[in-house]
Amino acid sequence: MKRRNYKYFIRKSHRYLGIFIGLQFLLWTLGGLYFSWTNIKDIRGENLRKEKENLDVSAIGVSPKTAIDEISRTRNASEIIKIQFVELLGESFYEIRYRSGKRIETVLASAADGKIRLPVSEDEAKKIAAESLYAPPNIKQINYLTEEDTSAHHEYRERPLPAWAVTFENNLTVYLSAETGQVQTVRTDGWRIFDFFWMLHTMGFEDRDNINNYLLRAFSVLGIVTICSGFLLFLTSSKFFGRRFSKSSKQNN
């Protein structure tokens, strides 16, 4: 192979690889800049949420066993998975997660008498969402979310369903479990920008969080090839290395 031929091939390969993968490199860099220049606590809206107050254990009137017996009698619970003490609208409850057949259910049982609480209503959801924030704006809308309403790339993903989505006038959305009334997460415009760049960063266009997808793997490999072709182009274009490479080629021929 003549010298101009292999140099021409390397130059062309590097040029077209650079054009093809350069845009993704730019997106990765922009995403990295945004991630490094933002406070993750602000992105998650932690600066907007009130800190939880200490739970009032003096409100406990019955043991968790009373609540479990009630669930076993009325809900056909086959296994208790988790129990925790929570507060909701000024009252104390046992949050109990249990298995019923193949389903995992969660309910609130009053810590005062063990009775099962009904799911959170729309009006209660509005009140809970507003009380969870320091300075809540006016509520713009509220939506009830089920599995049919959410997808793998929905901003409320991998969280308990059904849920209430309470959106305020500043586009801040508070998501809370419809079964327990516990605030699960807060989404702001800053988080949505973060999520968009995260999608571009991981190239997980369907579920956002899968960093093992084949598209990301392919672009990562092409990125390495592009970098290597750049180093090779430098070596073959250098007078010193170019002469040594040319002599080596002639000796092999």
Instruction: Answer yes or no: do 68 and 113 share one domain.
Output: yes
pLDDT 10s digit of each residue in the chain, 253 long?
444 566 667 676 767 777 778 888 888 889 889 999 999 899 998 899 988 777 777 778 888 888 888 888 888 788 899 999 999 998 999 999 998 888 888 999 999 988 999 999 999 999 999 999 998 999 999 999 998 888 878 899 888 899 999 999 999 999 999 999 999 999 999 999 999 999 988 887 777 777 788 888 888 888 887 788 777 777 777 665 555 555 555 555 5
Residue 34, in any domain of the structure = yes
Domain boundary among 70, 100, 117: 117
User: What CATH number does the domain containing 87 carry?
Assistant: 3.10.450.40
Domain boundary among 69, 100, 117: 117
Q: Structure pTM?
A: 0.79
Q: What is the pLDDT of residue 251?
A: 53
Instruction: Answer yes or no: do 66 and 30 share one domain.
Output: no
Quick check: helix, strand or coil at residue 8? helix
Residue 90, in any domain of the structure = yes
Residue 127, in any domain of the structure = no
Instruction: Answer yes or no: do 21 and 72 share one domain.
Output: no
Residue 166, in any domain of the structure = no
Both structure tokens of 116: 């099962």
Q: What is the pLDDT of residue 246?
A: 55
Residue 211 is given by DSSP the state: T
Q: What is the pLDDT of residue 242?
A: 56
CA separation for the pair 161, 8 (Å, rounded)? 58
Contact partners, residue 72, CB within 8 Å, separation at least 6:
none
Q: What is the pLDDT of residue 1?
A: 43
Instruction: Answer yes or no: do 60 and 86 share one domain.
Output: yes
Domain membership of residue 102 as a residue range: 52-117
Instruction: Answer yes or no: do 105 and 76 share one domain.
Output: yes
Question: CA torsion angle for 68, 69, 74, 76 (degrees, to 10)?
Answer: 70
Contact 8, 181 (CB under 8 A): no
Instruction: Answer yes or no: do 74 and 109 share one domain.
Output: yes
Tell me how many domains the chain contains.
2
Instruction: Answer yes or no: do 29 and 66 share one domain.
Output: no
Return the half-sphere exposure (C-beta side, CA atoms, 13 A cut-off) of residue 97: 9
Instruction: Answer yes or no: do 57 and 26 share one domain.
Output: no
Instruction: Answer yes or no: do 31 and 65 share one domain.
Output: no
Instruction: Answer yes or no: do 71 and 108 share one domain.
Output: yes
Residue 74, in any domain of the structure = yes
**3-state secondary structure labels for all residues of 109-143:** EECCCCCECCCCCHHHHHHHHHHCECCCCCEEEEE
Contact 145, 162 (CB under 8 A): yes
Residue 77, in any domain of the structure = yes
Residue 187, in any domain of the structure = no
Residue 87, in any domain of the structure = yes
Instruction: Answer yes or no: do 111 and 68 share one domain.
Output: yes
Q: What is the pLDDT of residue 5?
A: 61
